[in-house]
Structure 1
Amino acid sequence: MGAGIVGLAVARQLLIDRPGEEVTVVDKESAVAVHQTGHNSGVIHAGIYYTPGSLKAELCRRGRDLLTDFCIEHKVPISAVGKLVVALNPDDQRRLAEIHRRAQANGVNEAVMMDGPGLREIEPHVAGIAALHSPATSIVDFAQVSRALAADITARGGTIRLGSEVTGFRQDSEGVVAETSTGDLRATTSIVCGGLQSARLAEMVGADSDPRIVPFRGEYYQLSEAAASKVRGLVYPVPDPRYPFLGIHLTRRIGGTVDIGPNAVLALALQGYRRRDISGRDLKSILGWPGFWAMARQNWKMGAAEITGSLSKHYFASQARRYLPDLSASDLHPWPSGVRAQAIRRNGELVDDFWITHEQRITIVRNAPSPAATSALAIAEHICAEVFRQGNNR
C-alpha cells in the first residue's frame, strides 16, 4: 500500500524475492510520489548523523549503495555534489566532533574535518570556523527514481493501482482484504507504507494508536540565479540536540537550482502544503493527541522561531545569511512546501528511527523519517525479510 518511494521499493523487492508472485501497489493519488517523496530535498545521505547501531544508520549506508546502483542502471541522473556541515562557533565545533565520530562509527570514512580556510576551498562564499565535509553525499530527483521503480515493478509483472483509496481492512484465515474505493483487494499479506496517512491506516488495521503522525510543513525559497552561483553543493548547519528539527540549509538540486529551507511549522492538515490548507478531521486528530501538547511544551521556543521565519522572508534570509553572508532577502523566491510526517509518542517523544510493526498478516511502516528516501531499497530488503520470516512462523 502506498506509491511513495518506500512502498514502491517494497513492491519491487517482493517481485525480486518471489518472482511470479502477484504484487499490487495501491494508492489514492493519480500518480506516484505525490507527497513526501515528491516534496523532499533530493539528497542521498551518506549516513554521517545517525546513532551507530540504529536502524537508520544501518539502512542508510546500505540504501545509498543500492540506490546509486539503481540510478546508474536505470539512467536516473545523480550527482555527487558533497555536503558541508558548517560550525559557526566553538559550541558548534564541539558538536561537529561528535558527528565526525558517528560518521566514522557508521563507516563513512571519507567524511573529513576541516578548518575555515579548508571549507572555503570547497565553498568559497560560505562562512564558518570549521566544517565536516562529506564528499559522498549526492543529489537526485526522488520523483524520477519513483517513476523508474514503478516501471520496473510493471516490467516484473506487478500492478500499480492508482486512484484507489484504502478505506478499511479485514483479516481472516486466508489472508487480508483491503477495502478500497475501487473495490476489495484480497491478498495473503499486506504491507502498509502510508507516509502521512500511516497512523490512520494503522488504526484501520486495529493497531495501537501510539505513535500518531503530526504533520509539519517545511517551507522553502529558491535562490536567485546570482545567489545560487555562490553555492556549489549542500551547506548544512550543525544540528542542535535541544531541538527536533535541523533548521534551514542550502541545497543544490539536480537541475542546478539551489533551495533554502526548510523551516518546520505545524500543518493544519496531513496534506497541508499551503497555509490555507485546513482539515477539521486532521486538526482534531492532531490537537486531540496528548503527545502533541507534550511536544509543544518542550519545544515552544523553537516553534515560535519557526513561525517567525514562516511569516517573515527577511528573518528567513537572516538565518541563511549566517552561512552565506552575501545573501539578501531579494535573492529569495517562493517555492513549494513539503510536509513531514512526524511520528510522536503519547508522552511527547519524537520517534527518530524507522519503526515497523506487524499485525498478524499486515505489516505497517509506522515511521519512516529522513533518510527514508535514501534508504528505501534497503528498507525494502529489511521489510521483506521480516514479512517472509513472519509468514514462516505462522
Structure 2
Amino acid sequence: MITALQQPVSPTPMKEHFLIEWTTESIFKGRTAIMRDRKQRCLNAELEAKVADLVRQAEEVIRDQQEVRSQSISTQIKSYEEEDDYNLRHPLLSEGTVDLHSETKPKTKNVDPINKVQNKLHSASKGRKSNSRVKLKYSDVQTASDVAIPEDFSDFSLAKTISKIEGQLEEEGLPDYIDDGIFCGVSEDIGTEAQIRFLKAKLHVMQEELDNVVCECNKKEDEIQDLKSQLKNSEGDCMRQQRTINLQQSQTEKYKTLFEEASKKCDGLQQQLSSVERELEDKRRLQKQAAASQSAMEVRLNRALEEAEKYKLELSKLKQNNKDIANEEHKKIEVLKSENKKLERQKGELMIGFKKQLKLIDVLKRQKMHIEAAKMLSFTEEEFMKALEWGNK
C-alpha cells in the first residue's frame, strides 16, 4: 500500500527540476549573449581607434613626404639659380680677360722696330706682372683664341728691352719706315734726339698706362681669386646640397616605402574594418534576434514560473496529503504490528501447548510400548514355564 501511494507523486519533482534547469540555462544564455555583445562593442571601439591612428599616421607620412619633396625642389631650384649666377659671372670674367688681352695686344700689321718695341713693352709688362707676384693664371681663366702671347714671356724684362732699344737707336739711327701713326701731330723736321725724347716720353706714358692696366689686372686677379673662392664655396655648397639631395632622395624613397607599407596596412585594416563591420552587423542582427527570442523566452519563462508556482503549491499539497496518509498508514502499521505481536505471542503459546501435547503423546506412546512389552514378556514367561515343565516331564 505504501508503494502504491508513493508512485503518482514521483513525476512532479522531476518536472520541477527540469523547469529549474531550463530557466537557469536560459538566464545563462541571455547573460552570455549580453557579455558577448559588450565584448564585440569593445573590440569595435578598439578597431575604430586603431584605424583612426593608422589614418593619422598615413596623413603624417604623406605630409612629411610632401614637405621633403618641396624642400628637395627648393634646394634644386637654389642650386640651379646658383649655377645660373655662376654661368652668368663666368662669361663676364672670360670676356674681361679677353678684353684685357685684346687691349694689351700689339699691332702686327707693320713689322718695324717701333712695333717691336711696343710688343716688347707689352710683353715686358706681362713679365713684370709675372715676376712681381702679380701673376695671372692663364691656364685657369679661359682666354680668346686671338690673344697673342710671346714665346719668351718668362725671360723678358722691361729695363733690358729699353736699354736695348736705346742702343739700337744710337747705333743705327731712326729708321725711315717708322709708322706715321706714332708721330701723328708732330713735325717731321725734328731731329733724332727729339724723336728719342718723344719716344721716351711716350714710353713713360705707356708705362704709366701699363702700370694702371697692371693695377686693374691685379684688381681683376683679386676679383678672380674671390670669385674662385666663391666658386669653391659654391661647389662645396653644391656638393653638400647634392649630398643632402641624395639623402633626401633616400629619405623620400624610404618614406615612399613606408607610405606604401602604411597604405598596405591601411588597406588591410580597412578590409579588416569592413569584415569587422560586417561581423558587427551580423552580431547586431543576431543580437536583435536574440533579444526577440529572449523576450519570447522571458514570456515563456514567466509562464513557466507561474506554472512552477502552481506545481509547487500542488506539490506542497500533495506532500501534505502524503504526510497525512503516511501518518495514518503509520498508525495502521503500528496497530497491525501490535496485533501481529499479539498473534505471535498467541502463536508462541500455541506452539508451547503443542510441544507439551507432543511430549505427552510421546509419553503415552512409551507407556503403550511398555504395556505391550510387558504383555509380550508375560506371554514369554508363561511359554518358558510351560517349556520347563515339559522338560521336567
Computing the radius of gyration over CA atoms, which structure comes out larger, 1 or 2? 2
TM-score category, normalised to shorter length: under 0.3
Larger relative strand fraction: 1
Q: TM-score, normalised by structure 1?
A: 0.17
More helix per residue: 2
TM normalised by structure 2 equals 0.17
- Asked which structure has the greater RCO (Cα within 8 Å, sep 6+), the reply is 2
